[in-house]
Amino acid sequence: MDVFYKEIAAANHFNTFIQKFWILNNSHNPFSTVPRYALPNGCCTIAFISGNGLTLDFGDRVIEVPAGIHLSGQITKRAGISVRPGARAIMAQVKPWLPLMITKVPMNELVNNVLSLQHLNADLYQRLAGINFADEHVLIPEFYKVLEAHIDTNADYNFTRWAFSQLQMNVLTPATTSIADIAAASGYSQRRVEQKFKELIGLAPKEIQRILKLRWLVDDLSNFTGDESLSSLAYRHGFYDQSHFIKSYQRILSDVPSSFNKEDYLLPIKGHFDFLQY
């Protein structure tokens, strides 16, 4: 069992908003952990960090994250996470429409970025700041109570939730839902849909689809036995040829598929998820 990494499922009542909790524990280690990579998955993260904090390395940018409560938006490429000595991080992996209920900051400002919740929602921060971050059995139930008071769905929330379902419906096929398709179904102009994606989600629809498609494939790649070729695996996940697959893979993982080593990554214990499951 990995004493550094574990997952806790979200309570059924909160499945609409929270996918799961994942915990990085380095509280009893006098050294920083070796970096392991987190991958984009379409979700955002509310991080409760105690102790000496952690370091995020995006390759071209390093972010030092101190103790406190932080919100991370969409990420577009793998991020190396190193937890400092005596530190612990409890992460709420939240669905992309939840941040719209707790901050008015445009989500494109949070792409590949982490900001203190204190600057995004001072009231929510104050309500959460007194909870014991070092004990998930205390933190998670209290987080539910505070979050419930902030649940307030609106038109932007409904659009974001609907848009993700549209994007994912055919994410495993070569034919993908276009901005024009979403615009036609939503009643907005194509230009307005593009603006809403940037403002409410942070990324363009094609980039989100690319991330979702690759995340499904990486789960299979982590259990790859060699019984089928990488080309067959890529085609099964909706990549129309090997070149398309390798280009998409390198854009996010900065490596080639043949070099993939699951021990380098923080992968879901129970596999990836479906945004259409609420």
d(CA 161, CA 278): 10
Q: How confident is the model at residue 170 (pLDDT cuts 50, 70, 90)?
A: low
d(CA 81, CA 101): 27
Greater confidence (157 vs 272) lies with 157
Lowest mean pLDDT among 84-93, 157-166, 199-208, 266-275: 266-275
- In this prediction, residue 277 carries a pLDDT of 40
Counting residues of the chain whose pLDDT is more than 90, the rounded percentage is 64
- In this prediction, residue 173 carries a pLDDT of 62
- In this prediction, residue 165 carries a pLDDT of 84
d(CA 176, CA 168): 9
Whether residue 37 is predicted with pLDDT greater than 90 in this model: the reply is: yes
Whether residue 276 is predicted with pLDDT greater than 50 in this model: the reply is: no
Give backbone dihedrals phi and psi of 276, rounded to 5 degrees, phi first. -80, -10
Counting residues of the chain whose pLDDT is more than 70, the rounded percentage is 93
Q: Find tokens 């009542």 and name the residue.
A: 13
**What are the pLDDT digits (tens) for 94-121?**
999 999 999 999 999 999 999 999 999 9
**pTM across the whole model:** 0.92
Residue 156 contacts residue 192 (beta carbons within 8 Å) = no
Residue 54 contacts residue 89 (beta carbons within 8 Å) = yes
d(CA 276, CA 116): 30
Residue 248 contacts residue 174 (beta carbons within 8 Å) = no
Domains of the chain: 5-148 (2.60.120.10), 155-264 (1.10.10.60)
- In this prediction, residue 225 carries a pLDDT of 74
Q: Residues 235, 241, 244, 247: what is their CA dihedral angle, to the nearest 10 degrees?
A: 90
Whether residue 41 is predicted with pLDDT greater than 80 in this model: the reply is: yes
Whether residue 275 is predicted with pLDDT greater than 80 in this model: the reply is: no
Lowest mean pLDDT among 166-175, 200-209, 256-265: 166-175
**What are the pLDDT digits (tens) for 190-227?**
999 999 999 999 999 889 988 988 888 888 888 877 77
- In this prediction, residue 58 carries a pLDDT of 95
